């Protein structure tokens, strides 16, 4: 007994000593990991002496893409015990972009073969081989083929030509339009390499809130310079097109897509672009949305507009990506219903080279939304899913929120329209609004790099588990130390749900402060259009909270397939995570766990804050195992996140309590300030706000 107690005492002392002194010792001895400013992303710092692998190119190849594949293997492939050979082979199973990795055995020994039908497949195969070996895979056991599930995997940059990035939190735009095309920053190639390493094959360079100037001759030349850099990496450039350009640039009296002079103007513009950029991808269009011009200005339909542009691009092999993000105050019932109402009746009316791009959920990139009802509901139309990689509504660059679970949740969501059909299986394209800027670490924080990474990995293979992707990212970014993996994996995996919990649990959404969307504003009720106000979304009052989207309310559930709609019709069969998205319920509504809705809401706010504290503790535990610059920046950001999670929780609870006059459950702390204090917070310089 005594001995046992004594031993426990020593162990306890040792643990306390280690916790206090070890990080200091590690710091004094110098960081274990090499200092990194994050520039090298998941691709790792180049080894001081490259591994002397034997790499054999396909005979007689002069392809720049194959040269890049060879260079990548020389630079990044750790030592493997056999030669690596790149082979072009006409294997239809590989598709246009796929690759195979396998071991060939002969009398002379073993060779590691990367096979593909096209040179881009060899580049993707080279990156996959490097990833496999760097994440601990055995090169001697390789036998895989991989081809992308979705043909078009794009980043959408919301970059203005003056260098401002709308909803960007990583500095100014990467594109220095001022010095292009004369100066081609080497960073453009590094960007392309990073994208190719994860299979991104298209980028839209400019903001969907587009300036017509992007289509002028000088800007076409600048775009062409970027396209030249990206081409060997398998990346096609697209431009956002402003529908009023024929008026603004061409002096035409109208931009009506049905007008022959307008169609001719676009045809000539397309010809002009293709003369400089023969593989130009096409146009992305935001029309009749948030003040952008469009066909509806003339009584024409979205299909009229898209098809007119599609005709201009078709003979060059270009594509029109037409966004379905539309809403107007002319429909007072429910903003969540408007894209479906406008686009679903147009199914089958879009040209073959049109893709309709649908946001992942029916409102606007909230921390959690149900899948958009258009997925699966337009079987005769090519669809793209649009996600936001930049964290407009998830804490900007400073909050750690790994978005793999968010992306995967939508991609795996059943549409209910056909047995086994998921959102992912309906897609011709996946687009992510980029989180990239001119910050040295590209994305404003090291963990935001993981969101670029996981977006692209899931675009290639939507069946990947977000946790597996997190682990491969961690190993490539921070190294393979088990203690780092053990601490960082749960941090990442819990992080998005934490943001949901402290900003809008149980399906609450759009509670953000006006304009910049930084911080809470659930009380905002004085903006010109009803659907701009948070009160429109939560509908909280003395007796209850939530948006009734069932038949007794806006009936938005009727836009889903019958089996899904039937489940959403009743609170008891609606997933708790989406409860208040679909239902208006009394504050004392009994929840499955036994408590009331109010208690469950508070519990989730508290859980969100507690999870951030747990993330901070985990991060503290890896001090010294991660290089100091990246450790320190993340630690500081987690401190910001902890403070702001508490702010969100306190402000929200203070507001809800001002409506329901209910006490907090026992053990739940009172908000730090009164409601008025939260209402008075102002952030005129918050980044990313146009």
CB 295 within 8 A of CB 287: yes
* Exposure letters 336-375 (e unless 16+ CB within 10 A, then b): bbbbbebbeebbebbbebbbbbbbbbbbbbbbbbbbbbbb
DSSP letter string, 229-268: HHGGGT-EEEEE--TTHHHHTT--S---TTSHHHHHHHHH
Q: Which of 97, 159, 392, 472 is catalytic?
A: 392
**Out of 145, 209, 344, 428, the residue judged to bind ligand GCV by CB under 6 A:** 209
Alpha carbons 373 and 389: distance in angstroms, whole number:
21
DSSP letter string, 317-328: T-EEEEE-----
CB of 365 to ligand GCV, least distance (A): 7
- Residues 320-349 close enough to bind ligand GCV by CB under 6 A: 325
Q: What is the dihedral angle through the alpha carbons of 110, 115, 121, 125, rounded to the nearest 10 degrees? A: -20
CB of 287 to ligand GCV, least distance (A): 11
Smaller CB distance to ligand GCV: residue 208 or 557?
A: 208
CB 240 within 8 A of CB 206: yes
Smaller CB distance to ligand GCV: residue 364 or 606?
A: 364
Torsion 291-293-297-299 (CA) sign: negative
Residue 290 appears among annotated catalytic residues = yes
Task: Provide the residue count of the chain.
Answer: 690
Interface pattern 230-259 for ligand GCV (x via CB under 6 A): ------------------------------
CB of 165 to ligand GCV, least distance (A): 10
Residue 159 appears among annotated catalytic residues = no
| Cα distance between the two ends of the chain | 69
CB of 455 to ligand GCV, least distance (A): 16
Among 229, 250, 248, 126, smallest CA distance to 184 is for: 229
CB of 410 to ligand GCV, least distance (A): 16
- Residues 90-129 close enough to bind ligand GCV by CB under 6 A: none
* Residue 263: alpha-carbon gap to chain centroid: 34
Alpha carbons 223 and 194: distance in angstroms, whole number:
19
CB 73 within 8 A of CB 126: yes
CB of 500 to ligand GCV, least distance (A): 19
* Residue 372: alpha-carbon gap to chain centroid: 16
3-class state of residue 596 by DSSP: strand
Alpha carbons 423 and 370: distance in angstroms, whole number:
11
Residue 364 appears among annotated catalytic residues = yes
Q: Which of 334, 364, 441, 472 is catalytic?
A: 364
Smaller CB distance to ligand GCV: residue 166 or 467?
A: 166
3-class state of residue 102 by DSSP: strand
CB 433 within 8 A of CB 388: yes
State both tokens at 447: 């963990």
Smaller CB distance to ligand GCV: residue 290 or 525?
A: 290
- Residues 154-183 close enough to bind ligand GCV by CB under 6 A: 158, 166-167
Smaller CB distance to ligand GCV: residue 325 or 619?
A: 325
Alpha carbons 417 and 240: distance in angstroms, whole number:
32
* Binding status of residue 208 toward ligand GCV by CB under 6 A: yes
Smaller CB distance to ligand GCV: residue 238 or 265?
A: 238
State both tokens at 226: 């970027």
Interface pattern 380-419 for ligand GCV (x via CB under 6 A): ------------x---------------------------
Q: Which of 37, 45, 96, 290 is catalytic?
A: 290
Smaller CB distance to ligand GCV: residue 153 or 167?
A: 167
Interface pattern 258-287 for ligand GCV (x via CB under 6 A): ----------------------------x-
- Residues 306-325 close enough to bind ligand GCV by CB under 6 A: 325
DSSP letter string, 160-213: -TTS-BTT--SSS-S--TTTTTT---HHHHHHHHHHHHTT--EEE-S-SS--GG
CB of 331 to ligand GCV, least distance (A): 17
Smaller CB distance to ligand GCV: residue 265 or 340?
A: 340
Smaller CB distance to ligand GCV: residue 285 or 568?
A: 285
Interface pattern 352-371 for ligand GCV (x via CB under 6 A): ------------x-------
CB of 417 to ligand GCV, least distance (A): 25
Smaller CB distance to ligand GCV: residue 421 or 689?
A: 689
Interface pattern 550-579 for ligand GCV (x via CB under 6 A): ------------------------------
List CB contacts of 665: < 8 A, sequence separation 6 or more: 595, 598, 599, 602, 603
State both tokens at 627: 């290089």
What is Dmax (Cα atoms) for the chain? 96
CB of 457 to ligand GCV, least distance (A): 23
Burial class (CB in 10 A: 0-12, 13-18, 19+), 196: buried
State both tokens at 636: 């500081």
List CB contacts of 540: < 8 A, sequence separation 6 or more: 522, 546, 656, 659, 660
Number of residues that bind ligand GCV (CB under 6 A): 10
CB of 333 to ligand GCV, least distance (A): 20
Binding interface with ligand GCV (CB under 6 A): 158, 166-167, 208-209, 286, 290, 325, 364, 392
Q: What is the set of active-site residues? A: 290, 364, 392
């Amino acid at each position: 007994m005594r001995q046992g107690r004594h031993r426990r005492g020593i162990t306890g002392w040792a643990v306390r000593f280690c916790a206090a002194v070890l990080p200091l010792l590690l710091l004094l001895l110098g960081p274990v990991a090499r200092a990194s400013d994050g520039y090298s992303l998941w691709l790792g710092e180049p080894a001081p002496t490259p591994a002397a692998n034997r790499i054999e190119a396909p005979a007689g190849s002069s392809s720049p893409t194959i040269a890049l594949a060879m260079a990548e293997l020389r630079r990044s492939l750790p030592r493997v015990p056999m030669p690596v050979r790149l082979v072009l082979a006409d294997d239809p199973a590989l598709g246009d972009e796929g690759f195979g990795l396998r071991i060939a055995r002969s009398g002379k020994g073993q060779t590691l073969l990367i096979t593909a039908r096209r040179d881009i497949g060899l580049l993707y195969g080279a990156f996959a081989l490097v990833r496999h070996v760097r994440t601990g895979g055995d090169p001697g056991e390789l036998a895989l083929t991989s081809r992308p599930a979705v043909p078009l995997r794009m980043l959408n940059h919301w970059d203005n030509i003056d260098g401002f990035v709308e909803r960007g939190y990583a500095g100014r735009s990467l594109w220095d339009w001022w010095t292009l095309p004369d100066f081609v920053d080497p960073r453009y190639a590094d960007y392309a390499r990073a994208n190719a390493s994860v299979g991104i094959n298209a980028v839209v360079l400019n903001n969907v809130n587009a300036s017509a100037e992007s289509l002028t001759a000088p800007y076409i030349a600048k775009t062409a310079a970027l396209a030249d850099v990206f081409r060997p990496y398998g990346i096609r450039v697209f431009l956002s097109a402003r529908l009023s350009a024929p008026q603004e640039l061409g002096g035409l009296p109208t931009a009506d897509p049905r007008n022959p002079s307008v169609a001719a103007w676009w045809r000539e513009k397309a010809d002009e672009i293709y003369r400089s950029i023969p593989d130009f991808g096409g146009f992305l269009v935001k029309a009749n949305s948030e003040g952008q011009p469009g066909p509806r200005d003339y009584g024409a339909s979205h299909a009229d507009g898209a098809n007119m542009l599609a005709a201009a691009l078709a003979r060059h092999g270009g594509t029109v990506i037409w966004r379905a993000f539309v809403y107007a105050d002319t429909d007072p019932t429910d903003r969540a219903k408007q894209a479906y109402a406008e686009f679903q009746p147009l199914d089958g009316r879009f040209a073959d080279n049109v893709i309709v791009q649908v946001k992942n959920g029916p409102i606007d990139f909230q921390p959690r939304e149900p899948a958009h009802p258009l997925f699966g509901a337009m079987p005769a139309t090519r669809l793209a899913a649009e996600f936001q990689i930049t964290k407009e509504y998830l804490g900007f660059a400073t909050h750690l929120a790994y978005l793999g679970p968010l992306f995967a949740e939508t991609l795996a969501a059943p549409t209910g329209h056909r047995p086994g059909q998921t959102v992912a299986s309906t897609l011709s394209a996946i687009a992510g609004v980029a989180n990239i800027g001119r910050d040295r670490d590209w994305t404003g924080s090291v963990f935001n790099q993981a969101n670029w990474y996981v977006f692209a990995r899931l675009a290639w293979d939507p069946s990947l588990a977000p946790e597996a992707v997190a682990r491969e990212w961690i190993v490539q970014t921070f190294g393979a130390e088990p203690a780092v993996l053990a601490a960082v994996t749960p941090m990442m995996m819990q992080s998005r749900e934490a943001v949901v919990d402290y900003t809008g649990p149980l399906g609450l959404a759009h509670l953000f402060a006006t304009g910049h969307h930084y911080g809470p504003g659930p009380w905002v009720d004085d903006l010109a259009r009803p659907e701009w106000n948070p009160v429109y979304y939560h509908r909280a009052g003395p007796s209850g909270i939530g948006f009734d989207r069932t038949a007794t309310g806006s009936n938005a559930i009727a836009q889903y397939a019958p089996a899904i709609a039937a489940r959403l019709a009743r609170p008891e069969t609606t997933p708790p995570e989406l409860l208040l998205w679909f239902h208006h319920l009394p504050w004392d509504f009994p929840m499955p766990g036994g408590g009331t809705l109010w208690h469950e809401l508070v519990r989730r706010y508290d859980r969100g804050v507690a999870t951030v504290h747990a993330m901070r503790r985990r991060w503290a535990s890896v001090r010294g195992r991660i290089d100091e610059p990246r450790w320190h920046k993340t630690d500081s950001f987690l401190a910001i996140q902890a403070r702001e999670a508490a702010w969100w929780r306190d402000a929200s609870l203070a507001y809800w309590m001002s409506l329901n006059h209910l006490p907090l459950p026992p053990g739940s702390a009172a908000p730090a300030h009164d409601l008025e204090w939260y209402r008075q917070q102002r952030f005129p310089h918050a980044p990313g706000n146009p």
